Chains A and B, each alone.
Chain A
Amino acid sequence: MNAKFKIIFLLAATLPFCLDAVAQQQTTLDEHDQHAQHDQHTQHDQHEHSEHDHHSGHDMSAGNNDTAAHEHKEHSIDAATHQETQTQDHVHEGHSIDAESHEHASEHAGHAGGPTDHGDMHHHHHVDDSHIMDHEGTMIMGQNLDKLPSGCKSVSEEVEITVRAGRKYAERFPGTVFAFDQQQWHVKPCSKVTFHFTNEDNIRHQFMMHGLPKYLYQYGMFHLEVTGPKTVSGTIIVPGSDDTLLVHCDIAQHMEKGMKAQLVIGKGGQDIPSIPGLTPYNISDVYEAEDLPKISASENKEDKSKVVREITKSLTSSDTQNYLILLLGALAGVFSIPLFRKIIPGKKTVDKSEE
């Protein structure tokens, strides 16, 4: 009997710790949100700043002439310097993008600094005019500057969003390697959104959006791609109804390893799963505590008994185990109800059982 009680008490004792753990998780989530908001603010500031600094930024929308296509025969290994001299010559000719959009692009393309800008762009031969690529693989696909989605009478507002991408943004999400600086963006239905996609790594990254109306966007996609450190910008007009769209990098394992986000239109639709810090994974890994070497002195300072500590350590190592313990606790509680009832109201029930 004594042994049984010990177990029940121990289980009961673990309950508060479990609750603690849950609460802690919640608070860390909140912190993330705050961080995200904070980042948003600072970026806004930077953004304004850069507008002032980079009036001379080059237009990064493109020319589709054949001379441009052949121009890069001359490129030497240090393409960046070569490119700067050419940039002025081969933009704009015979291009269908309207003047307003050119202004936008030229105002804001300069984020990452002059030498990283884009000129010398050519059209994809197989897709429509909205597929633009330059000699370094910088790509804008599915851009839409003026076609209104059905359900929109006019553009509701014009916004600009700077998206940063790189390994350093994954640092605040343990277990990821690549990430965007923010995991979701809010826009109004029918708004015209210009994304300035700044890749801060030295490899390719993509800003690829899915789920746009297919009558305006091929495969329902909008896609920016650039090898960093560099910026590429593109504009879309979002649909007129509330929805939540997937944004990710499609390079093998980049989305899986953290580079995933969502664009929330209006009130949004269903959340996209497995966005770092935002939505839970559909399939989670199993984590087990490792017996890693550590400095033992600090441990002795804690006043919890060693047994309880051992139990909480081994049992709270994963979420499923947490829930299991909750369940065990609940069961223990249910079974002990008759006991409590007997203790509190007194002899009534005791008499019955003696009959």
Chain B
Amino acid sequence: MSNFIRTIVVIAYLVCASGSTYASLKLPETIRVDPAALTSEPACDPKIPPAWRDAQVIDGVEIEADPSCSPDNPAWIAVAVKGTNNVSMDTLMQTHFSPDAIIKTDDLDGDGDPDRIVIKLEVMELNGKSPDFPGQVPTFDIAPGVQPGAWVFAPKTSGMSTENFESVRANPLIRLPSPVIRVEQGDIVQIVLENTHYLPHSIHLHGVDHPFHHELNGNDGVPQTSEMELMPGERRIYQFQARETGTMFYHCHVQTHTHLSMGLAGMIVVEENKPNNWLQTLNIGAGRVRHRSAAIKENFDREYDLHYHSMDKELGDIIKEYNDPRLTARDMNRRYQINNATEDYFTLNGLSFPYSLRESLIVVDLDEKIKLRLLNSGSESIAIHTHGHHATITHYDGVEHNPIAQIMRDVFDLAPAQRLDLKLETIDDGRHSYGAGDWLIHDHREKGITTNGMAEGGSMSSIVYTSYLGENGLPNTSHFGVNLDNFYTKEYWERKVPIWQNLDEAATFGAAAGRTINLDAATRNSLYYALGGLLAGLLLYLIFIVRNHIKQCAVAVISRIRSKKEGGKE
């Protein structure tokens, strides 16, 4: 018996020791993660044809060049400028737009551009749960392998929600952020919300001149004042004719504390009324405006829409956890505590570094004037820092600041929901600009440059001069010896890559190996099984030894019952 127990103890010790430390004079080896072991992806999305970067004319719509790595599909821009009702069928078919997504008609003031604009928006879910398989559908990565659960306003699309029949990736029109809407001052605009989502939503036009309309349930999107939540499967029209111009904001006002953070928020710009002013009604994915309004063309060389957003991982995880909308609603509405929440994802135009380099670079040349429109739809203030530049704040929340009092800064505070219009002048005078370069632009709250706590991620991007732009549309970092490859692997964001391992040949900051007895997995497993078997045997043996005792107990019980029964009979 005692021998038997000793054997067990020895085996148990071996098994445990294989996973624990032992004393040694030498410290463990350095491990350098082999790049070949990583799921790497190309820095530039190979699905996007380089020809999309060129300046071109489609259906008479002039589209500026966009040298960046993932420019918008030029057909999107042509459709957004002409409207789905005016553009050629050929062009429309190169997009996923529904043929009634943007309807432009009636030149009411006779100045050569349409003044009745109908924009149809749907509500789409990204990275949601499926009851059929363990993954998410349709997927959208804000960085390699990083897929927060999100909701977006998407232009009304046609056909599948995924890229194609075999893919689970969302079709390119269904993405973060909700699209930038551009309308002209004085246009009669109808935003038609078709609630394709499984929860109630609405639209609030923050900052846009819109009447509190009696027939249209207030027209303000707020369930606590005038308007019932728009239920799944229903449609509602929001109508306005803006008298004031400016960079504004639209978002869902149903359970705003969660719905806004989930992504139901976008930029809306009211442009000055000018003759022949055909606007790019939607800027998918924000960023570079490749068909600018007449007024911006007169005063600036380039224009960029920069939409900053933040998301809480725990909030987004709710839609990954439940398929039943009642449970999603329960956790979102009653269990999620925003007062105890923290932000985890920080995005610029829906993406985090390094994807932000693909399509949200601010590409400039010397001696240019660039219009930047900034929106913060996150739940905390942000502080955007422009390396190498001071820019001038021209507008706060869409309203022009007194030109004499306008100030230059290199850190721009944006409170939640706030908008700033900046004039960036690339004059190499030591104040406006320090000269050409690849200058970072980032949120200076340090967590703003992380993705779920992992740096360098977040909403970081660059102001890059064309002389520092590589042929693929990414900043040319290689001649500085800078290699961004690790950022394009999902393992980096899973915290599995020692980020400094390649700083020197010796891998001084590689990973330290663990200290274990070198047992291969198979041997360890068989040892575990042996131990398990022995324990089971021991248990049976014990039961066998005390069997008589058990029997006696049982008999005692039975006899007591019987005596009770007999007692009852008597």
Contacts and interface: CB of A to CB of B under 8 A. Distances in A.
Interface of A: 1, 69, 72-73, 75-77, 79, 122, 124-126, 133-137, 139, 166-167, 174-178, 201-204, 208, 210, 219, 221, 223, 225, 227, 250-254, 256-257, 273-274, 281-285, 287, 290, 338-339, 342-343, 350, 353-354
B131 A281 contact: yes
B322 A285 contact: yes
How would you classify the secondary structure of chain A's contact residues: helix, strand, loop or mixed? loop
B484 interface: no
Interface stretch (B3-11, B192-200, B220-228, B296-304): B192-200
Given A251-B122, A273-B132, 9 more contacts: A75-B105, A137-B100, A137-B158, A166-B233, A167-B232, A203-B235, A252-B161, A252-B174, A252-B196
Q: Across chains A and B, which 3 residue pairs bring their CB atoms closest together, nearest first?
A: A201-B233, A202-B235, A167-B233
B206 interface: no
15 contacts: A69-B88, A72-B99, A77-B103, A137-B98, A177-B233, A210-B165, A223-B159, A225-B158, A252-B137, A256-B128, A274-B132, A281-B131, A282-B133, A338-B554, A353-B548
Given A202-B234, A252-B138, A354-B555, A257 B198 contact: yes
Contacts of A125: 89-90, 93
Contacts of B174: 252
Contacts of B138: 252
A343 B196 contact: no
Contact of B100 (A136, A282, A354): A136
Contacts of B552: 353
B162 A250 contact: yes
Given A1-B557, A137-B158, A251-B196, A77 B132 contact: no
A225 B134 CA distance: 28
Contacts of A251: 122, 124, 161, 196
Nearest to B234: A202
A338 B547 CA distance: 13
B324 A285 contact: yes
Contact of B323 (A124, A136, A283): A283
Contacts of B325: 175-177, 257
Interface in B147-177: 156, 158-162, 164-165, 170, 174
Interface string B107-137: 0000000001010001011101111111001
Contacts of A124: 93
Nearest to A138: B99
Given A76-B106, A285-B324, A342-B555, A203 B158 contact: no
A283 B194 contact: no
Contacts of B330: 290
A283 B134 contact: yes
Contacts of A139: 158-159
B385 to A, nearest CB: 36
Contacts, number: 165
A232 to B, nearest CB: 13
A137 B555 contact: no
A136 B99 contact: yes
A256 B89 contact: no
Nearest to B561: A343
A225 B194 contact: no
B417 to A, nearest CB: 26
Contacts of B162: 250
A139 B156 CA distance: 14
Interface of B: 85-86, 88-90, 93, 98-100, 103, 105-106, 116, 118, 122, 124-126, 128-134, 137-138, 156, 158-162, 164-165, 170, 174, 190, 194-198, 231-235, 321-327, 330, 548, 551-552, 554-555, 557-559, 561-562
Contacts of B554: 338-339, 342, 353
A197 to B, nearest CB: 15
B419 to A, nearest CB: 29
A126 B124 contact: no
B196 A254 contact: yes
Given A202-B194, A204-B194, A353-B552, A135 B85 contact: yes
B128 A252 contact: yes
Contact of B131 (A203, A250, A283): A283
- For A251, A252, A256, A339, the residue with the greatest tally of chain B CB atoms inside 10 Å of its CB is A252
A338 B85 CA distance: 82
A76 B88 contact: no
Contacts of B103: 75, 77, 79
A221 B166 CA distance: 12
Given A139-B159, A252-B128, A253-B125, A343 B100 contact: no
Contacts of A167: 231-233
B98 A203 contact: no
Contacts of A290: 330
A36 B105 CA distance: 46
A223 B165 CA distance: 12
Contact of A177 (B90, B98, B198, B327): B198
Contacts of A343: 558, 561-562
A339 B559 CA distance: 11
Nearest to A165: B233
B322 A250 contact: no
B128 A204 contact: no
Contact of A284 (B93, B131, B160): B131
Nearest to A354: B555
Contacts of B100: 79, 135-137, 227
Given A251-B161, A251-B196, A287-B327, A201 B132 contact: no
A178 B194 contact: no
A241 B98 CA distance: 36
B99 A134 contact: yes
Contact of B197 (A137, A201, A253, A284): A253
B549 to A, nearest CB: 11
Nearest to A281: B131
A7 B277 CA distance: 81
Contacts of B129: 256
Contact of B232 (A133, A177, A225): A177
Contacts of A342: 554-555, 558
B322 to A, nearest CB: 5
Contacts of B137: 252, 256
- For B99, B130, B161, B326, the residue with the greatest tally of chain A CB atoms inside 10 Å of its CB is B99
A284 B131 CA distance: 7
A121 B132 CA distance: 36
B557 A252 contact: no
Contacts of A202: 194, 233-235
A203 B122 contact: yes
A282 B195 contact: no
Contacts of A136: 98-100
Nearest to B334: A290
A339 to B, nearest CB: 7
